[in-house]
Amino acid sequence: MTGSAALGSRRLRRTINSGASLLVLLLLVGCTRSLPPTLHDPPRTATSTTAGPNQSMIHLARVESGVVVVDLGWWGAADALQQGLEELGAAPDDVVAVFLTHAHRDHVGAWRELRHAPFVMALAEVDLFLGQERPEGILPRVARRIVPTDLPRPGEVEVVPFASDTGFVFGADTVYAFNVPGHTPGSAAYLLRGTLFVGDAVAHSPTGGFQPAFAAYSDDTSQARVSLHTLRARLDRHDVEYVCTAHARCNPPDPEFWSEVLSNR
């Protein structure tokens, strides 16, 4: 290759890389802007989305005793977490609890940065989080065989399990935890300040809209559907303004939303 050809090739690569970076940035910005305003309102709340083939959401909220975090993203999770903390004027040591909707790799990416904090999850999810059980969904199982998931070992982090629906009180704020098994054995949803974080118990696609957990990623799709039916009834005594998936798709829980979710096949 001649000098001029090599230079042209390098310029082309730089142009492609710059274009790709811009596209990723636009996607991230667009995703953040589609969220309810209460989810990204620094210094009270902040929401970051991590990169990769399917953006995952990290939500942070200031409470009386520090910061609580819902889910921990995937690719670039440490940077996304740090960005969210900075927007709250906080540091990793300020995090007083991490709430995991489930332990698939795209929602636990930044666990090492917060391993000092207690990790709250459904009891049935603990073994999956600690690498003592394998996921049953087809795609998570194949992904694990190709590249093992980075997970903590038993005793490496403090785990706070719950066996039934419960509330965790942080001064004036309460995080309500709900069991919604099916996507994984211990899939959970968390209600904080009017937003229900449902993890992947509710999925979304451009063509299918909101629907129950995707079959290829899930352990038991029949159980996942039953969980959503019972969850709706269990929410009757709570004020829920938005439902958000772990991939930053949010919608008010109006009758049209529930009809779409519960009737979608």
- On whether residue 84 sits in a domain, the answer given is yes
| CATH number of the domain enclosing 197 | 3.60.15.10
pLDDT of 188 above 80: yes
Contacts of 195 by beta carbon, 8 Å cutoff, 6+ apart: 36, 38, 39, 240, 241, 242, 243, 244, 250
Of the pLDDT bands very low, low, confident and very high (cuts 50, 70, 90), residue 35 is confident
Q: Comparing 55 with 192, which gets the higher pLDDT?
A: 192
User: Which run of H or of E encompasses 3?
Assistant: helix 3-33
Q: What is the DSSP letter of 247?
A: T
Q: Are 166 and 174 in contact (CB under 8 A)?
A: no
- State how far the Cα of 77 lies from the Cα of 58, in Å rounded to an integer: 8
Task: Identify the pLDDT of residue 93.
Answer: 98
pLDDT of 31 above 50: no
3-state secondary structure of 158: coil
Q: Comparing 6 with 265, which gets the higher pLDDT?
A: 265
> Domain range for residue 208?
34-263
- State how far the Cα of 189 lies from the Cα of 167, in Å rounded to an integer: 12
- On whether residue 9 sits in a domain, the answer given is no
Task: Identify the pLDDT of residue 237.
Answer: 94
- On whether residue 161 sits in a domain, the answer given is yes
- On whether residue 92 sits in a domain, the answer given is yes
* Residues 195-215 pLDDT 10s: 999 999 999 998 999 999 999
- On whether residue 38 sits in a domain, the answer given is yes
Q: What is the DSSP letter of 54?
A: S
- On whether residue 27 sits in a domain, the answer given is no
- State how far the Cα of 241 lies from the Cα of 247, in Å rounded to an integer: 18
pLDDT of 6 above 90: no
User: What are the start-end ranges of the E strands in 30-80?
Assistant: 45-49, 57-63, 66-70
Q: Are 160 and 120 in contact (CB under 8 A)?
A: yes
* Residues 8-21 pLDDT 10s: 444 434 433 434 43
Of the pLDDT bands very low, low, confident and very high (cuts 50, 70, 90), residue 54 is confident
Give the least confident one: 14-18, 51-55, 149-153, 155-159: 14-18
Reported pTM: 0.87
∠ CA 251-36-173, rounded to 5°: 100
Q: Which of 153, 156, 247 is nearest to 198 (CA)?
A: 247
- On whether residue 203 sits in a domain, the answer given is yes
Residue 2 CB: number of other CB atoms within 10 A? Answer: 7
Place of tokens 């953040």: 32
Task: Identify the pLDDT of residue 265.
Answer: 58
- On whether residue 13 sits in a domain, the answer given is no
Rounded average pLDDT over 153-164:
97
Q: How many domains does the chain have?
A: 1
* Residues 69-128 pLDDT 10s: 999 999 999 999 999 999 999 999 999 999 999 999 999 999 999 999 999 999 999 999
